[in-house]
Structure 1
Amino acid sequence: MRILRVIASMNPEHGGPCQGIRNSIPALQQLGVENEVVCFDSPNAGYLGMDGFAIHAIGPAKGPYAYCAALQPWLIENFARFDAVIIHGLWLYNSYGTYKAWKAFKKNNSKFPKLFVMPHGMLDPYFQKAKERRVKAIRNWIFWKLFENKVVNMSSGVLFTCQEELLLARQPFTPYSPNAELNVGYGIPNPVAFSQEMLTAFYEKCPQVANKPYIVFLSRIHPKKGVDLLISAYNSLYKNNKTIPALVIAGPGLDTDYGKQLKATAGDNIYFPGMLGGNSKWGAFYGSEAFILPSHQENFGIAVVEAMAAGKAVIISDQVNIWREIKDGKGGIIVKDTQEGALSGLEQWVNLTPDQKTAMGVNAQNTYKKFFSIEQAALNLKTIFEQQING
């Protein structure tokens, strides 16, 4: 089986969907499923050549819609090589542009690949309700009426990372009637075993917490992630308790207006090492007491699962779609996506005994193995695609 992934960008700094692709392809290769990716990055992009699978960079794209004139000709020429095509994400040209090319290809070819859409949480009602997204919500509604409804409803099926995402996707738009709603799951590879080099790499990025207890936030520095709530909650708690673990806020986005504002409001014992990757990322996880993410919306949360895989308890909001599995597995603390919720999560954590913290970390790792291993997710996808293609 050969699968083509179509995504606007595979730049590792964008995280999310492109990291999910990087996680799943090696596991699928072990099952005999070959994958290629086409994206709108420049052929000169610095990250190219670092992955063990083919990435066809046919950009750069133009404008906020990421229009790429090379997409449809490339697809028409290459569709016949694949059994299935997955559109990753909505609202950009890779979505409707791929559907339009697929529709044209079907008219002239009796054999054509199945077309699937993986929204990666982009059909979550949050994006249509959040006050700060009013303009984008209107844009999405217009896009839906004009063409995205065709992509979702006329493709072979829609792929979801968990049951919660599948259910939420039914709410914000009409008409919504996919040919198939498929919960294929999601996962990450087993983490690299801990080594001292990981801590060394992290401490080089964040020397202030060397050999000190800390809680880590690792994600994009963006309003959706609730970082402002976290900082306010931490400042409040630290004011009355100077012995609590430090707070490390790691990720890209510090150079944005929002990031600069966060740094200006952060009090003592909060540190910003920037984007972490490789050894420094895993050093941040392994060296931490716990991971925290009070996000307003999180379709899956790769960083959440990475922390769990490293044996760390997680403190997350109930807007992270995998919160039920974590709660049932007793692998973390679940709170509301408010400042009070973030404060409650921090307070609950610091009031646990060392043995309770250790036990919660063990539970988190067991929950990862049960629900979120990449091997299980790859097998799910392969099985479902075989049924769809052969059925």
Structure 2
Amino acid sequence: MKIIHLTASYKPAYIYGGPIQSVAKLCEAATKIIDESKEKGNFDLQVLTTTANGDQELNVSPGKPVLIDGVSVTYFKRLTKDHSHFSPQLLRELKNILQAVKEKNIVHIHGWWNLVSVLSCWVVKWYNIPVVLSPRGMLTAYTQNNRNSFAKRILHYFIGKRLLQYCHIHATSDQEKDDIQKIINPKSITVIPNLVNFQASAASSKTMNFDNDPAVFRLIFLSRIEEKKGLELLFEALSLLNINWQLTVAGSGKKEYVDYLKIKASDFNISRHINWIGQVENKDKYRIIAQHDLLVLTSFNENFANVVIESLSVGTPVLISDQVGLSDYVTSQKLGWVTTLNVNAIKETLLIAFSQKEKREMIKASAPEIIRKDFNDDVLANRYLELYKQLI
């Protein structure tokens, strides 16, 4: 069986956030299982991707397969930048692979609304090969009506809709599944959570420069800084609090939007409470999260949100919006607080989280073990491999 993963970007293009981590983690865990199984030799997993790295290109040799943490990855040059990623060389290589071996192939495409995903899906459909599509949050009412909405509607009407009906959809949460089914009726839809890194691969001595006042409620936002993350709502809610709080904003985004948020913080008179630390390296991330009392994510839409699992893996409770895919999980496991996207609701939920110090301590003690059990790499990777076998 040849398993081909197609994605517009792959690590080390960490600028694209959580999906980079999830796709790579899946490929690494599946490759490990294949290598250690009795069926080694009957499986061949490879990744086709582009050199995309935001406005820049990755420093790699295009067209030559390389091993990235045990996974065979081939990067191809792109002719267009974000968010189209047009790469004729990638499409040509995909066609050559499918022509060479037409039986027992399966293609897993990650993401949508880019020319790697859409055109690759068209090529695979032409050869009548099964397609698993992980939209990665790209098939929701929010994303359809947000950025480049007119172009998306045109693409969906003329090409996308028929391609999506050919696919077996993979959703990362029940919420994402519900969102997808409002837009398209695929061949099938299966819910399997993301694989998530729990700990940094290297030790780090980086720490935050906090004072030692235990009365300070230390909050952290760690994600790509963009409109859908709801930071404006969070800032307004924080401006209404009468407690001693500090917010760390970790992540990068377009300079114009980050500058706009800093102006908003000034308008709300909360600038002195916010520490902007920029992009955080993986080796520093977990230590920094663990130094805070609460991770906050008041997003308008998140199909999953890896950072929620990352935070809980080091015992830091979470406060998230009900539009985050993991909100049901957080509620059922009692690992944090869930709020609606209303400023007063966010404010009140923050105050509840602040007042329930005993609950935060209980989460700190119990969450790491719960996360390691519920998001075990081998268990989840085997579910993906079983899905591939069933579809073939």
Q: What TM-score results when the alignment is normalised by the length of structure 2?
A: 0.84
Quote the Cα distance in structure 2 between the aligned partners of 1:190 and 1:34.
27
User: Which residue in 2 is equivalent to 1:279?
Assistant: 283
Quote the Cα distance in structure 1 between the aligned partners of 2:121 and 2:157.
15
Q: C-alpha deviations, 1:266-312, integer Å up to 9, x for none? A: 32121010010222211111211121101110000011110011111
User: Which residue in 1 is equivalent to 2:39?
Assistant: none
Quote the Cα distance in structure 2 between the aligned partners of 1:34 and 1:362.
41
| Matching residue within 372, 381, 392 for 1:378 | 381
| Matching residue within 118, 124, 144 for 2:140 | 124
Tell me how far 1:170 sits from its aligned partner.
Answer: 1.2
Quote the Cα distance in structure 1 between the aligned partners of 2:180 and 2:220.
30
User: Which residue in 2 is equivalent to 1:77?
Assistant: 96
| Matching residue within 5, 22, 25 for 1:23 | 25
Tell me how far 1:70 sits from its aligned partner.
Answer: 1.5
Tell me how far 1:381 sits from its aligned partner.
Answer: 0.6
User: Which residue in 2 is equivalent to 1:257?
Assistant: 256
Cα distance change, pair 34–154 in 1 and its aligned pair in 2 (3 A): same
Aligned pairs, how many?
A: 363
Query: For 1:11-90, what aligned pairs fall within 5 Å after superposition?
Result: 11-32=13-34, 34-41=44-51, 45-46=58-59, 51-52=68-69, 53-62=71-80, 64-79=83-98, 80=100, 83-90=105-112
Q: Tell me, yes or no, if the aligned pair for 1:334 and 1:345 is still in contact at 8 Å.
A: yes
Q: C-alpha deviations, 1:184-235, integer Å up to 9, x for none? A: 3222134259x9x53x3243xxx35688762111001111001111122223
Quote the Cα distance in structure 2 between the aligned partners of 1:231 and 1:318.
18
Query: For 1:1-391, what aligned pairs fall within 5 Å after superposition?
Result: 1-10=1-10, 11-32=13-34, 34-41=44-51, 45-46=58-59, 51-52=68-69, 53-62=71-80, 64-79=83-98, 80=100, 83-106=105-128, 113-129=129-145, 133=146, 136-155=148-167, 157-172=168-183, 176-192=184-200, 198=204, 200-203=205-208, 207=209, 214-237=218-241, 240-241=242-243, 243-244=244-245, 246-253=246-253, 255-266=254-265, 267-353=271-357, 355-389=358-392
The one-letter amino acid of 2:345's match is G
The one-letter amino acid of 2:328's match is R
User: Which residue in 2 is equivalent to 1:110?
Assistant: none
Q: Tell me, yes or no, if the aligned pair for 1:208 and 1:271 is still in contact at 8 Å.
A: no
| SS of the residue 1:306 aligns to | helix
| SS of the residue 1:187 aligns to | coil
The one-letter amino acid of 2:261's match is L
Quote the Cα distance in structure 2 between the aligned partners of 1:209 and 1:19.
32
Tell me how far 1:251 sits from its aligned partner.
Answer: 0.4
| SS of the residue 2:228 aligns to | helix
Quote the Cα distance in structure 1 between the aligned partners of 2:26 and 2:4.
13
Quote the Cα distance in structure 2 between the aligned partners of 1:299 and 1:42.
22
The one-letter amino acid of 2:154's match is I
Quote the Cα distance in structure 2 between the aligned partners of 1:262 and 1:119.
28
The one-letter amino acid of 2:124's match is W
Tell me how far 1:127 sits from its aligned partner.
Answer: 2.3
Quote the Cα distance in structure 2 between the aligned partners of 1:381 and 1:375.
10
Q: Which runs of 5+ in 1 are unaligned?
A: 107-112
| SS of the residue 2:233 aligns to | helix
Q: Tell me, yes or no, if the aligned pair for 1:215 and 1:248 is still in contact at 8 Å.
A: yes
Tell me how far 1:363 sits from its aligned partner.
Answer: 4.5
Cα distance change, pair 289–56 in 1 and its aligned pair in 2 (3 A): same
Q: What TM-score results when the alignment is normalised by the length of structure 1?
A: 0.85
Tell me how far 1:26 sits from its aligned partner.
Answer: 2.0
Cα distance change, pair 365–345 in 1 and its aligned pair in 2 (3 A): farther
Which range moved further: 337-346 or 46-55? 46-55
The one-letter amino acid of 2:381's match is A
Q: Tell me, yes or no, if the aligned pair for 2:60 and 2:75 is still in contact at 8 Å.
A: no
| SS of the residue 1:268 aligns to | helix
| SS of the residue 1:201 aligns to | coil
Q: C-alpha deviations, 1:163-194, integer Å up to 9, x for none? A: 2211221113xxx331111223222134259x
Identity of aligned residues (%): 21
Tell me how far 1:343 sits from its aligned partner.
Answer: 1.5
Tell me how far 1:30 sits from its aligned partner.
Answer: 2.5
| SS of the residue 1:31 aligns to | helix
Cα distance change, pair 370–318 in 1 and its aligned pair in 2 (3 A): farther
Cα distance change, pair 182–42 in 1 and its aligned pair in 2 (3 A): closer
Quote the Cα distance in structure 1 between the aligned partners of 2:288 and 2:330.
21
